Structure 1
Amino acid sequence: MTFDGSWAEGREAPPAPDAPDGPVRATTSGETRRWLRPPWVRLIVLLVAFVLADTVVGGIDQGLDDVPVVGLPVGVVLAALVLFAYVKAIRFVEHREVAELARDGAAADVRRGTLIGIVLFLACIGIIAMFGGYHAGWGSIGAMLTTFGLMCAVAAAEELIFRGVLFRIVEEMAGTWGALVVSALIFGALHLVNPDATVWGALGIAIEGGLMAGAAYAATRTLWLPIGLHLGWNFAEGGIFGVTVSGSHGTVGLLKGTLSGSAVLTGGNFGPEASLVAILICGIPTVVFLRLAARRGRIHPRPRRASAAAAEH
């Protein structure tokens, strides 16, 4: 898959200024923040804060589903607010500049990620349609614009939680592979509370969303590409093709889609994310991102404990 000219030719895209190649660790200083230095403490504090923020964003999103004129701008504003809150929270808790949300190259990475997400879902729904599992009629442009705005907020909030907080801090304790597994499994498991959720659907979400977005973060060490991937996939799923998004029924976008046939092909009532097609398609960029991360030296082992390191000497 070609992402841009430099990646297609096997050359690394230039890193953003001050972007770290390794796990972003806190550089806390001062007696008043000493209790926040352990990674597990920062993980709990930041997760609690941003899960609460995500709950608020989700509540507002649900209230704007049928208000297309308001849904688009409010969704974009909510996304901006949660990004601003993340920057402020990380500076307060970890006393560092937030390199994972550096402004250099941000717009390009979000555009690239959004395009990749749309293309991936287009391939998924195209295969499902080819085997007779997808049919559609016209929806509305207003519904499409509303979905885009709301998905901006959802993508930003969830990527900040699962990649910006969970993946990044778990990586400090368990290395890149541990962070990938933990963040993906938790991301998938939390979707079990959605309507019509199944273990298979949660596993699909873990692979498609959790592993792919985590691999994109590992390869780039910024959150912009994962946010774009998340936005592009969700927007195409609900805003363009109008099918069920992670069990959320009644989705109408530019098209009003219906799925029929084998759940292995279509994902059943949970939507295409529970289909084998989606898992296989999203597995391709996941492998590409992980290979890119390895080539750039951004796959980090689990840190050794100080006592074990001292014993070797």
Structure 2
Amino acid sequence: MRFVKQLLAVVAIAAVGGQAVNAVSGNPWLTLVLGIVAAVLAVLVYRWVVGRTERREVTELARAGAAARLTRGVLIGFAMFAAVIVNIALMDGYHVKGLGSVSGAVGLLGFMAAAAVTEELLFRGVLFRIVEERTGTWIALLLTGLVFGAMHLANPDATLWGATAIAIEAGFMLAACYAATRNLWVPIGLHFGWNFAAGGIFSVVVSGNGDSKGLLEATMSGPAVLTGGDFGPEGSLYTLGAGVLLTVVFLVLARRRGHIVPRRGRAARETSTAMVSQ
């Protein structure tokens, strides 16, 4: 029942916040404000429902060190996307025409903040964390990554390849990031940094969701294997390679820190709970 209660609470906030943000999408400043409000409310609701149903301190969203961890994640996500887009540009697949829209970037800031927070709370905070208690890190990473990728099949211009790429380069990577850090701030920052860099800075399609109007006015051209086609750079082999590389790095860190839950059953659940409470 704790799983159901946590899942429903986060989904409810995500749905209401998403509707509110979409309703004011034509106004970038209202989108920014409502996006941030939705993100903050999601964190508060997660803290409340997890603390109430598990009767513990919600250390994965601890206030101490939150800003530093969030910033670290944002920098990793931004650097990852910048590396991908530079490689695509070197292959003549990305072209900057000039400056884009500051107001468009402002609106995307709020939209991406709400999306990153609610998705990480749902997929890594609820799904991965609880599934890991029952099955161990490896199976939880595989299952929740596949679910995360499948969710993107509902996006515009989605393909089976695009969803598979998202599962590998994002679903697996973000779960591995949580396993390595045992907090949600770093994966939230990473998710946000990637999405905002893509849409708010470099103005490319994000997971099939149309042409973004960010700080740069740019176009993409070339084979889909390079650019990701209509689905955006997340369907590019460059992104897949970057995501796999970071996944490996995070999993190595998780193993070195003793954060891997290797087996299922009561012992695994006790190990996972102990690591989250550290």
Match of 2:20 in 1: 60
1:167-220 deviation digits (Å, cap 9, x = unpaired) = 000001100111101110000000001011011101111122111111110011
- The whole-number CA distance in structure 2 between the counterparts of 1:251 and 1:283 is 26
Match of 2:245 in 1: 284
Contact 1:61 1:150 (8 Å CA) reproduced: yes
Contact 2:35 2:113 (8 Å CA) reproduced: yes
Q: Does 1:229 align with 2:187?
A: no
Contact 1:242 1:253 (8 Å CA) reproduced: yes
Match of 2:275 in 1: none
For residue 136 of structure 2, give the secondary structure of its aligned residue in structure 1: helix
Q: Unaligned regions of 5+ residues in structure 2, if any?
A: 268-278
- The whole-number CA distance in structure 2 between the counterparts of 1:65 and 1:244 is 17
Match of 1:164 in 2: 125
Aligned match for 2:140, one of 172, 179, 190: 179
Match of 1:30 in 2: none
Match of 1:154 in 2: 115
Q: Does 1:51 align with 2:6?
A: no
Match of 1:96 in 2: 56
Letter in 1 for 2:252: R
Deviation, 1:305, is 6.3
Q: Does 1:214 align with 2:175?
A: yes
- The whole-number CA distance in structure 1 between the counterparts of 2:23 and 2:94 is 28
Match of 1:301 in 2: 262
Contact 2:28 2:107 (8 Å CA) reproduced: yes
For residue 222 of structure 1, give the secondary structure of its aligned residue in structure 2: coil
- The whole-number CA distance in structure 1 between the counterparts of 2:171 and 2:211 is 25
Aligned match for 1:192, one of 150, 153, 158: 153
Match of 1:27 in 2: none
- The whole-number CA distance in structure 2 between the counterparts of 1:200 and 1:45 is 33
In the superposition, the TM-score normalised over structure 1's length comes to 0.82
Aligned match for 2:73, one of 113, 118, 127: 113
Distance 1:296 1:120, change over 3 A: same
RMSD, aligned CA: 1.4
- The whole-number CA distance in structure 1 between the counterparts of 2:263 and 2:19 is 38
For residue 203 of structure 2, give the secondary structure of its aligned residue in structure 1: coil
Larger-gyration structure (1/2): 1
Contact 1:192 1:198 (8 Å CA) reproduced: yes
Contact 2:135 2:265 (8 Å CA) reproduced: no
Letter in 1 for 2:142: V
Contact 1:139 1:253 (8 Å CA) reproduced: yes
Letter in 1 for 2:62: A
Letter in 1 for 2:161: W
Q: Does 1:69 align with 2:29?
A: yes
- The whole-number CA distance in structure 2 between the counterparts of 1:305 and 1:165 is 19
Deviation, 1:73, is 2.3
Which deviates more from structure 2 when the two are superposed, residues 54-63 or residues 259-268?
54-63
Contact 1:218 1:299 (8 Å CA) reproduced: yes
Match of 2:164 in 1: 203
Contact 1:172 1:302 (8 Å CA) reproduced: no
Deviation, 1:46, is 2.0
Letter in 2 for 1:199: L
For residue 159 of structure 1, give the secondary structure of its aligned residue in structure 2: helix
- The whole-number CA distance in structure 1 between the counterparts of 2:217 and 2:116 is 22
Contact 2:201 2:215 (8 Å CA) reproduced: yes
Deviation, 1:300, is 0.7
Contact 2:21 2:111 (8 Å CA) reproduced: yes
Q: Does 1:124 align with 2:84?
A: yes
For residue 219 of structure 2, give the secondary structure of its aligned residue in structure 1: strand
